[in-house]
Structure 1
Amino acid sequence: MAEPLTVYFDATRLLARGTHSTPTGIDRVDLAYVEALHRHPDFVLRLIGFDALGPRVLTPRKAEALIEALLQRWRQRAPARTQRHPVFTWLQSPELQTRPALPPSAAPGRLQRLRQSLRPGVSTLRAPRLRALPDDGSAVYLNTSHGQMYRRVVARWLERSGIASVFFVHDLIPIEYPEYNRPREAARHAARLQTISRQARQVLVNSQATATALHRYWESRGARLPPIHALPLGVDVPQPGTQPLHTPRPYFVMLGTLEPRKNHLLILQCWRRLIEQDPERAPRLVLIGRRGWENQAVFQLLDRAETLKRHVVECRDLSDTEVADLIRGARALLMPSHAEGYGLPVVEALSLGTPVLASDIAAHREVGGDYAQYLDALDGPGWMQAIATLLNRDSPHCRQWQDRLQNYRVPDWAMHFSSALPLLHSALSGELA
């Protein structure tokens, strides 16, 4: 029997973001890989984190504690809150009421204490230095978040160590759409992709759309082209509560950070128009996600527009069950993004039998197939019309859509890892051409 393969998993992002009450899509991928490798008999998982001088490796005890704490916090294995989020009371009221105030974020508790013990500052871990790799070269470095790859300390270590490296690239949005990102992100992402091109034995991506964009980018710059494998992400289908959410007024949901490329501005303008046309019949809108960056027009609308305060609500720090309840009870999930690498909320909504209105981009069509409806991300009237057709759940249009959703097949992590994990072994035999 072959010896287990040692995988040095770059957990720098997990250590930095672990105290957040809800994970992003990339956080979920990180955690899924950590959990799969931790439990697999063919692999020995070692968690590492980079500071200014290089990698440190967590002791098995601290790695185990981190994994368990993240699973409890992000997979909701910890006890649920004693009271449901106030958005449910607001939605179940037949009267149009001013939206509830956002509750304070949940206390980090055990995970915060663990992170403090691991990272007492922003740049150092209380963990031993990773001094040496196995002499026989039977180890792989795995980075599934690509966040740290712009740092020179990471690139230098990879070059000096010569370790076989595998990377997951989620998208090229900072380069293709710099207007939707922070000012320095385009340069950082270019540095990430340069390091990955030079060091990768295998590159994993979440969709064929990302694979095509990545290949085109490297080829246009004469960069080395490592093997690229498009592996659709698995989805941990959130389990809704036992009681379906019945609301006297229809509502729609958006799921994701309130950042410019998610195009909340279009939907809020549509909602303002719907309310102006008929405030009593206008549906409600639930925005699930934290506020992001450089999105002042959206924030000002939410904070100052009196028209929206009885119809639009923000929520954050929801449990997976609460998110599932909100999605399942909605007339549809709205996903008008200007750009996506994968479109995880589309898959989550379809898995719960909820219709999806999505922008007509390659990533959405790849994951949504014939089960979603696609509209131009700038077509406000088109979005308003599509929303109007979904207000009556008993209409022939809605019933036909619901029937079609019964055939939707949810991509799962077992299928993903059946392809991804063998690539870690094959990375040992790959060469840097």
Structure 2
Amino acid sequence: MRGGGTKLGTIPNNDRPICLDLTRLLSRTGMVHTGVDRVEWAYLEWCLSLDRPVFALVRSAFGYFLLDRVSMAFAHQHLRTADWGKTDLLSQFAFKLSPARRAAEAALRKHAIARATPSRIGVLLRRNFADGVLYLNTGHSNLSKRVFRAFHSLKGAQIGVLIHDLIPLDWPDYQRAGTVAQFEKRMRVVSQFADVLICNSQQTLDDCTRHFKGFGRMPEAFVAHLGVDLPDHPEVALPQVPRPYVITIGTIEPRKNHVFLLDLWDQWEEAPHLVICGNRGWKNEDVFARLDKGDTANITELNGLEDAQMMGLLKGAKAALFPSLAEGFGLPQVEALSLGVPVICGDLGIYREILGEFPVYATTSNAYDWRIEVEKLLRQDSENHGRVVKDQAQFTAPKWDAHFNLVLRHFG
């Protein structure tokens, strides 16, 4: 099943409550949102817009919180700004948590309609969802047997899990130490307990089928492309970078293949300015060392940018370059095309599925092709900015309305 469909308002209302897991957003309060964070955020805003009972489950340092619509709105107001106020006495004992998360847990503890220690989560759920509930987990967090068994103990409960990608299983050498085994453990739990998988692409569905059958069970699944609705960001001061420039966006980690661009720029005497936007990740010490050394004057690395700054820099770029070795969806690529910025990227199946024929596809085995395509763009008049082979303004990004139509149509 693919994206598209009717307007949200045309779908009959169902009184069954929805319980959205917000554990990931709580864990990252005050941080710049990643792609996965933005999906959980979109689900939070969607739930708050629904004319039906909505709740949120949050895993805390000492157990679980259950939030109702009012406390979910409170969380929505404070998650990004992290202006939670002071911590309480209990949160001060959560030594491993950041100050922002300790304050967040203290605030949500006051606003929660119910709380439970880990061993009593089943009691919490039975008291509040005696007539059934749809539990949605969209952040790859809190995927535990304890939580899933507690929901399955309810009459009329259903568990839906959104899968972003299975890259850690297919590219284990590029992951943080210890994270692959943890990720596989979570996916095995999903394989065993989830009722339905929401896959963000056909590629993700195919990958789930391949891996989950090996785990012993492939749940029912459907495809719903993620939405990319560009918000109206406020005008903000942008970092000063020489023009013209091209840009790449993403965490600086091996899978994003920044080393390919550094090698290309080292060999290109008259290369345009390259802006690398993204926080430093893991297992990329050689790339970090090259960036720190600063031998290439026409490369600027920018970390910790706000969304509005990122969008401002993207709008001004002559092209967006993405030599990634693997991707789960490609939100920055969709955003670039939506803004009319030409995209040059590797020929990955996920790009073909989501972006169609709008990007320029170039193999990362031939750096010269990338240089030729960038030079073509630099020769174009400013009036034709945003044209490669086709008019990039024709690109239509997937919409959240279409995504949520599919979710409602499937679950009711």
Superposition deviation, residue 283 in structure 1: 0.9
Structure 2 counterpart of 1:14, from 2, 9, 25: 25
Q: Identify which range, 349-358 or 151-160, moves more after superposition.
A: 151-160
Distance in 1 between residues matched to 2:358 and 2:43, nearest whole Å: 28
Counterpart CA distance in 2 for 1:119 and 1:377 is 48
The offset of 1:376, in angstroms, is 2.0
Residue pairs, 1:154-303, within 5 angstroms? 154-158=147-151, 160=153, 163-219=157-213, 221=214, 223-239=216-232, 249-274=243-268, 277=269, 281-303=270-292
**TM value normalised by structure 1:** 0.78
The count of corresponding residues between Structure 1 and Structure 2 is 377
Choose from 304, 310, 327 the match for 1:340. 327
1:307 to 254, 279, 295: 295
> Partners in 2 of 1:201 and 1:48 — Cα distance?
18
Give the CA deviation at 1:148: 2.8
- Classify 1:119/1:66 alpha carbon distance in 2 versus 1 (closer, same or farther; 3 Å): farther
Structure 1 pair 175–399 and aligned structure 2 pair: CA distance change class (3 A) = closer
Q: Which whole-Å deviations, capped at 9, do the CAs of 1:37-87 have from their partners, x for residues lacking one?
A: 111103x221212247753223655432211123xx4xxxxxxxxxxxxxx
Q: Report the AA paired with residue 340 of structure 1.
A: E
> 2 CA distance for matches of 1:4 and 1:191?
34
CA distance in 2 between counterparts of 1:115 and 1:415 reads 40
Q: Is the contact made by 1:15 and 1:115 (CA closer than 8 Å) also made in structure 2?
A: no
**Cα distance in 2, alignment partners of residues 284 and 53 from structure 1:** 49
Pairing of 1:54-203 with structure 2 (within 5 A): 54-58=63-67, 61-70=70-79, 73=80, 110-111=83-84, 113=85, 121=94, 122=96, 125-126=105-106, 127=109, 128-129=115-116, 130=121, 131-133=124-126, 134=128, 136-149=130-143, 151-158=144-151, 160=153, 163-203=157-197
SS at match of 1:110: coil
1:115/1:38 CA distance change after superposition, 3 Å: farther
1:140 partner SS: strand
Runs of 4+ aligned residues of structure 1 deviating over 6 Å after TM superposition are: 114-118, 240-243, 245-248, 395-399
For 1:67-109, what per-residue CA distance to the aligned partner results, in whole angstroms no more than 9, with x for missing partners?
1123xx4xxxxxxxxxxxxxxxxxxxxxxxxxxxxxxxxxx65
The Cα shift of 1:173 comes to 0.3
Counterpart check, 1:422 vs 2:409? yes
Letter in 2 for 1:354: V
Letter aligned with residue 362 of structure 2: L
Q: For the Cα contact (< 8 Å) 1:270–1:380, is it kept in 2?
A: yes
Taking structure 1 as reference, are residues 118 and 358 closer, same or farther at Cα in structure 2, changes over 3 Å only? farther
CA distance in 2, matches of 1:341, 1:193: 15
Per-residue CA deviations over 1:345-403 (Å, capped at 9, x if unaligned) read 11000000000011111111111111001122343232223222222222999775275
Go from structure 1 to structure 2 and tell me whether the alpha carbon gap of 1:296 and 1:424 turns closer, same or farther (over 3 Å shift).
same
Q: TM-score, normalised by structure 2?
A: 0.82
Q: Give 5+ residue unaligned stretches, structure 2.
A: 1-11, 110-114
Cα distance 1:346–1:62, how it changes in 2: closer, same or farther (>3 A)? same
Q: How does 1:353-432 map to 2 (within 5 A)?
A: 353-394=340-381, 400-401=387-388, 403-425=390-412
CA distance in 2, matches of 1:420, 1:114: 38
1:107-151 deviation digits (Å, cap 9, x = unpaired) = x6515x4888996525784532252334643212110011332x4
RMSD over aligned CA atoms reads 3.1
Q: Secondary structure at the match of 1:132?
A: helix
Please point out which of 36, 42, 63 is paired with 2:46: 36
Matched residue, 1:351: 338
SS at 1:331 equivalent: coil
Secondary structure of 2:373's match?
helix
Distance 1:118 1:326, change over 3 A: farther
- Pairing 1:27–2:37 present: yes
Counterpart-to-counterpart distance in 1, 2:398 and 2:261? 28
Q: Aligned partner of 2:174: which letter?
A: Y
Q: Give the share of equivalent positions with the same residue, in percent.
A: 32
Amino acid paired to 1:386: E
**2:55 pairs with 1:46:** yes
Alpha-carbon contact 1:158-1:199 (below 8 Å) kept: no
CA distance in 2, matches of 1:40, 1:424: 14
Cα distance between partner residues in 1 of 2:215 and 2:389: 48
